[in-house]
Structures are given as structure tokens and as C-alpha cells.
Chains A and B, each alone.
Chain A
Amino acid sequence: DIVMTQGVLPNPVPSGESASITCRSSKSLVYKDGKTYLNWFLQRPGQSPQLLTYWMSTRASGVSDRFSGSGSGTYFTLKISRVRAEDAGVYYCQQVREYPRTFGGGTKLELK
């Protein structure tokens, strides 16, 4: 199975600042079509996860352009610009390159 490992944020993050969340995969997530099969989710307290980006850097419908995904085949970053109160929660990365789909352990974002 592909293991997904997420970094820790130096919490809390001051409102208005930027935050970068990292994720590493044990195997390249680049498929033969050239796409990188990495999703990012945000789970706010008491809510279901929400898809933020897919194919590593494509924002899901309705997602603010303050969220941007980037990376290589095995190392990924989700950058959140001008952090706001509504961005607080736990962020998860997920690989959909292979079965079984696997998630990272989550990174908590708290705001100051």
C-alpha cells in the first residue's frame, strides 16, 4: 500500500498569514497519463471532509483561489494564502493512484 505522511503545522497561525501543509507519498503518484493523483481535503469541526484540490493542483468547484496545491511525484504542498477563521480544521491528503486509496494522518490548522 502507498503510505501517505503529513507534516505538522506550527500552530496557531496568525489570521492573514500564509500556511503550507506538506504530504509525502511512499511511491510516485504520477500515472502514465501524466497526471498526479493526489487529493487534498479539509474537514472542519463537526463536518464531513470537503474536497479542495485533485490531480495535485486543480481546485474543486467553488474552492477559493487562496488554496493552491503543488509538488512533485512524491512530495506535495497545500498552500493557504491569507488564512481566515473558516480555514480552521484538519487537512488530509489522499492518493488515488492505486488501490487501496490511502489517506495521510491529517494536519491540524488552528488560527490565532
Chain B
Amino acid sequence: EVQLVETGGGLVQPGKSLKLTCATSGFTFSNAWMDWVRQSPEKQLEWVAQIKDKSNNYATYYAESVKGRFTISRDDSKSSVYLQMNSLKEEDTAIYYCTGWGFDYWGQGVMVTVSS
């Protein structure tokens, strides 16, 4: 059974940092391109970042809204993908989903609230 479990969300003040973790199982993680997608309180879906696999040199891509503030990374030995979020803004408030294998696999999501 495929599982993706996100952790690390919570309430954080503007300008602070947070790191999300997505632990996976049930598929060949090392071959998978992994993405983070977020959903705003208004329910709009926004793609955040992608990291490709080793054969593609772990290339990374970002939405313009997070470029320079967020970093996606992975650890194939742990079948996990991460999202380091720095300089958080109130508009980063959303449910963050980990997704993989061409958006076929999704986690349950983790809430990130940025507020003073």
C-alpha cells in the first residue's frame, strides 16, 4: 500500500522558518519525482516545488512565489522528501501536500499557519 505522511506543520510567526517532512512507503521512491502542492484557505491549489530523481541529477524547480525562500530536498535512503520554508509570509498559510509519481500519490496534507 502506498503511503505518504507529512509532518512538521503548525503555527509560526511571519519571518520564521519551518521544515516539512514527507515519509513515504509502498513504491520505489528513488525513481519518483516528488512535488509539494499547497491549498490556500480559499481552496485554490498551487504547485510549490519539484525534485527529480538521481538519474535526473536531483534537479529542482520552484514556483516564483517561493523561489529563494523554500528549498526542496530528498533522502532516498529514508524514502523521504522535505520542504524547508524560510522567511515565511502570511500568504504561505495553506495545507501542504506531498505528492509523487506524476501526482498519482498524495499525502493527507499538513496545515501551515503563518500569523503573528
Residues of B close to A96: CB separation below 8 A:
102-103
Nearest CB of chain B from residue A1's CB, rounded to whole Å: 8
Asked if residues B103 and A41 are in contact (CB atoms below 8 Å), the reply is: yes
A92 is contacted by which of B45, B62, B63, B106 (Cβ under 8 Å)? B45
Residues of A close to B107: CB separation below 8 A:
48
Residues of chain A at interface, number, CB under 8 A: 21
Asked if residues A48 and B97 are in contact (CB atoms below 8 Å), the reply is: yes
Is B58 an interface residue when CB atoms closer than 8 A count as contact?
no
Asked if residues A49 and B63 are in contact (CB atoms below 8 Å), the reply is: no
Is A73 an interface residue when CB atoms closer than 8 A count as contact?
no
Residues of chain B at interface, number, CB under 8 A: 20
Bitwise, B63-106 to A at CB < 8 A (1) or not (0) is 11000000000000000000000000000000001000011101
Is A76 an interface residue when CB atoms closer than 8 A count as contact?
no
Residues of A close to B44: CB separation below 8 A:
103, 105-106
Is A8 an interface residue when CB atoms closer than 8 A count as contact?
no
Is A90 an interface residue when CB atoms closer than 8 A count as contact?
yes
Residues of B close to A49: CB separation below 8 A:
37, 45, 97, 103, 106
Asked if residues A48 and B104 are in contact (CB atoms below 8 Å), the reply is: no
Complex CA gap A61/B63 in Å reads 28
Bitwise, A68-108 to B at CB < 8 A (1) or not (0) is 00000000000000000000001010101001111101100
Nearest CB of chain B from residue A94's CB, rounded to whole Å: 7
B103 is contacted by which of A1, A51, A99, A100 (Cβ under 8 Å)? A51
Bitwise, A21-52 to B at CB < 8 A (1) or not (0) is 00000000000000000010100000011110
Residues of A close to B62: CB separation below 8 A:
100
Is A54 an interface residue when CB atoms closer than 8 A count as contact?
yes
* Residue ranges of A at the interface with B (Cβ–Cβ < 8 Å): 1, 39, 41, 48-51, 54, 60-61, 90, 92, 94, 96, 99-103, 105-106
Given A41-B103, A48-B106, A49-B97, 4 further pairs, Cβ under 8 A: A50-B106, A100-B61, A101-B50, A102-B47
* Residue ranges of B at the interface with A (Cβ–Cβ < 8 Å): 35, 37, 43-47, 50, 61-64, 97, 102-104, 106-109
